[in-house]
Amino acid sequence: MATMRDVAARAGVSAKTVSRVFNNDPHVLPETRSQVEQIMKELNYVPNVLATTFRSGKASAIGVAVPDIVDPFFAAIARAVDRVARDRGVATLLTNLGDDPARERDIIESLLSRRLAGLIVAPIGADHAWLKRWTDSTPMVFVDRAPAGLSADTFTDNDEAGGHLATRHLIEHGHRRIAYVAGNPHLSTETNRLAGYRRALTEAGIEPDPQLVAADVNDRAATEAAMTRLLGLADRPTAIFSSNARSSMLVVHALPANELAVVGFGDFPMADMLHPALTVIDQDPDQLGRFAASRVFERADHPKRRLRRTTVLDVTLTERESCKITQR
């Protein structure tokens, strides 16, 4: 990986000048700035953020990039990261990735340009190989979903086992026509939960029915359309497995009261106060956030230490009333 001295030598300037260019020092001559910036691009130069931070003695920040900062699950992860960071005297910069994978790179690179002490990402894209040039200088941890095309520390839930557990629970309550309602079907979390759903059906001797799978349920209009289609089937479902908390909130709003049994993946505030109270596969986003933030600091403190790259956390079933609705 190129160093500041490499850039300085190629550009014929001092390392201090390179540092000034990177820091947007207004006293650098325009032609010198242009030349140094061009060399930085050619050498794929990324500054050693941690070394710069330690030399300056100034507290830096951890970046957190999640799909939806108001989603209870991702908000809990961010809060846990912030608690760990504050204990180390480090701030937290939180940004929203949204649901457009094409924007993910620009948003994350904008964060990385801010001299982060580390970055924690819940990714939405399908390729993260472009982050390789940053990994030597910035500890990087992925949560909820693994990166694609990049070897990095990752903390996820056992999504396949959770999908299997939810579906098997509904089967044990006597259901055989179980719908699967999902958000973005291309995310690894969704594909793994769908795999668990299908495995539970197959183990029970039930042939998975593609008609019972509803994807892209991300807003009220899509949810209402999905419920109308599912309830209009000649052999309609008697139960629903909702694959994420956002979809679950939409489903219980759109579904007529006590119409179908429901189990959701992921708990959320007041899920236990619904009528009927929602049975869920319970995750621990606080634990995910704490583990991720602790790993950032462990990588910073011990860069040569060998650590397990992938950690998969168990999920559990919290039974309430919504799974007990009987078939009609």
Digit-coded pLDDT (tens) for 173-207: 999 999 999 988 889 999 999 999 999 999 999 99
- Position 317 scores a pLDDT of 97
pTM across the whole model:
0.79
Residue 47: per-residue pLDDT: 65
Mean pLDDT over residues 58-83, rounded?
Answer: 90
Strands 178-181 and 140-143: unpaired
What is the structure's pLDDT at 41? 84
Give the tens place of pLDDT for each residue, 123-166.
999 999 999 988 888 899 999 999 999 999 999 999 999 999 99
Bigger pLDDT: 312 or 1? 312
For residue 52, what pLDDT is reported? 54
**What is the predicted pLDDT for the residue at 57?**
47
